[in-house]
Amino acid sequence: MALSCSRNRYLLLMAQEHLEFRLPEIKSLLSLFGGQFTSNQEIYGKSPFWILSIPSEDIARNLMKRTVCAKSIFELWGHGKSPEELYSSLKNYPVEKMVPFLHSDSTYKIKIHTFNKTLTQEEKVKRIDALEFLPFEGKVNLKKPQHIFSILEDYGLDPNCIPESPHNIYFGRWIADGQRELIESYSVKKRHFIGNTSMDAGLSFIMANHGKVKENDIVFDPFVGTGGLLIASAHFGAYVCGTDIDYNTVHGLGKASRKNQKWRGPDENIRANLRQYGLEKYYLDVLVSDASKPSWRKGTYFDAIITDPPYGIRESTRRTGSQKEIPKGIEKCPESHVPVSLSYHLSDMFFDLLNFAAETLVLGGRLVYWLPVYTPEYTEEMVPWHPCLQLISNCEQKLSSHTSRRLITMEKVKTFENRDQYSHLLSDHFLPYQGHNSFREKYFSGVTKRIAKEEKCSQE
């Protein structure tokens, strides 16, 4: 196996954000495009430099058309821990692979990026000149070169401790940039229709990537809210639909979530959000529906289910209730006259969600959802389990000192048969999970406040 040969090695320059989410994103995307994640290097850490083997440049380009975690990708020609090592590594790179890009008819430019250090112009020029031994035959064009080459120098991650010499130096041919600009262009700040818990744009694209969403897929969100998660999938060419128990949100009515705005305007609904980005053709439908009581006929329709269920903090967790239980303060949905109960145990909700996913996902389809966690009590066993779904990744995002949420990605690997509905009850996994029910209480309880106060005292 030619894993260590110098062919088909690429350098990914990663963004230093959402660190835990990056590897699952790249792995998911590579498998979406027919590649497989292979790397000799230990890259689970915080480094922004990842060296991977990718079967073809096409796959590398396709990867970059989707990723929001990676800034750029380079065809790696050489690297080392010192300039000498770099030059020697470059001399070992097969000349026949370099020549097509150094042709006398072509134009090029060499850039230099340094990480965690600033170089003077003089220092930069010196380093570029040192590469004169490479067989560049083309003409330099600084404005619009056909080929761009880059030297990347890694001076570590600690801004308070910058080394004299770089830890690593890389040289490669720039191939493509990632999609990080989507984060700005789809920013929630500019979106017409938002809710209290609309998802940050970067994370919504990461979720679509974890979900391996592709063109012509059908993506469903059972807790659709203002449809933010659907936008990312629609951007990648999937047709989208969703349901939500809240009539007002689905219809785009009621109080606005924006500061300085009281009521929602006529252009604020899920369809309008898609229209804002030119994605209206991907809008299938949204329905007012209770995710715990789905109304789909038996079958597998969804290629991906991507959702952010309510945690019971800023949006209440609810399901439809009984006519008998109408205590004070309960919401009544005016158009349907159905009482909506305010309590829906979180663990039941995740059980329903997993069961629903197992039943309605196509085989190989993915479920991507957020699981709120009270960190002091979290263990891996608490992550909900289902015999038809395989856990792919589990990435933490801290929310506060004692709470976080985890982005769980699962893949359907087994066809759903009715009896699966009950097997979880027999599983030990069910019991430790009860902790999630009290997530809301723990979040708000004096416990967390007391701990915070104690910590503050001990620091003084």
Partner 1 sequence: MKLLTHNLLSSHVRGVGPRGFPLRLQATEVRINPVEFNPEFVARMIPKVEWAALLEAADTLHLVEVPKEPIEGYEHDEKFLKKMHHVLLEVDVLEGTLQCPESGRLFPISRGIPNMLLSDEETET
What is the C-alpha to C-alpha distance for residues 27 and 212, in angstroms, rounded to an integer? Answer: 10
Radius of gyration of the chain (CA): 26
Q: Does 335 bind partner 1 (CB under 8 A)?
A: yes
Instruction: Pick between residue 186 and residue 283 the one whose CB is nearest to partner 1.
Output: 283
Minimal distance in Å, beta carbon 314 to partner 1? 22
Residues 6+ apart with CB under 8 A from 182: 68, 201, 205, 235
Minimal distance in Å, beta carbon 216 to partner 1? 4
Residues 165-224 that bind partner 1 (CB under 8 A): 215-216
Q: Does 251 bind partner 1 (CB under 8 A)?
A: yes
Token pair 């770089």 is found at 166
Minimal distance in Å, beta carbon 340 to partner 1? 8
Residues 225-244 that bind partner 1 (CB under 8 A): 239, 241, 243
Task: DSSP for 145-213, please give it.
Answer: -SEEEEEEEE--S-TTS--SS-SEEEEEEEEEE-STHHHHHT-GGG-SS--TTPPPHHHHHHHHHHTT-
DSSP 8-state symbol, 297: P
Q: Does 14 bind partner 1 (CB under 8 A)?
A: no
DSSP 8-state symbol, 298: S
Instruction: Pick between residue 251 and residue 345 the one whose CB is nearest to partner 1.
Output: 251
Instruction: Pick between residue 95 and residue 330 the one whose CB is nearest to partner 1.
Output: 330
Q: Using CA atoms of 440, 446, 448, 452 in order, give the dihedral in degrees to the nearest 10.
A: 150
Minimal distance in Å, beta carbon 117 to partner 1? 49
Which amino acid, one-letter code, is at 375? T
Minimal distance in Å, beta carbon 112 to partner 1? 44
Q: Does 349 bind partner 1 (CB under 8 A)?
A: no
Q: Does 320 bind partner 1 (CB under 8 A)?
A: yes
Minimal distance in Å, beta carbon 245 to partner 1? 7
Minimal distance in Å, beta carbon 221 to partner 1? 14
Q: Which of 58, 285, 381, 455 binds partner 1 (CB under 8 A)?
A: 285
Q: Which stretch binds partner 1 (CB under 8 A): 25-33, 106-114, 147-155, 278-286?
A: 278-286
Token pair 């416990």 is found at 447
Other C-beta atoms lying within 10 Å of the C-beta of residue 306: 29
- What b/e sequence results for 345-384 when a residue is b if at least 16 CB atoms lie within 10 Å of its CB, and e otherwise? bbbebbbbbbbbbbbbbeeebbbbbbbbbbeeebeeebbb
Binding site for partner 1 (CB under 8 A): 215-216, 239, 241, 243, 245, 247, 250-251, 281, 284-290, 293-299, 301, 320-323, 333, 335-336, 338-340
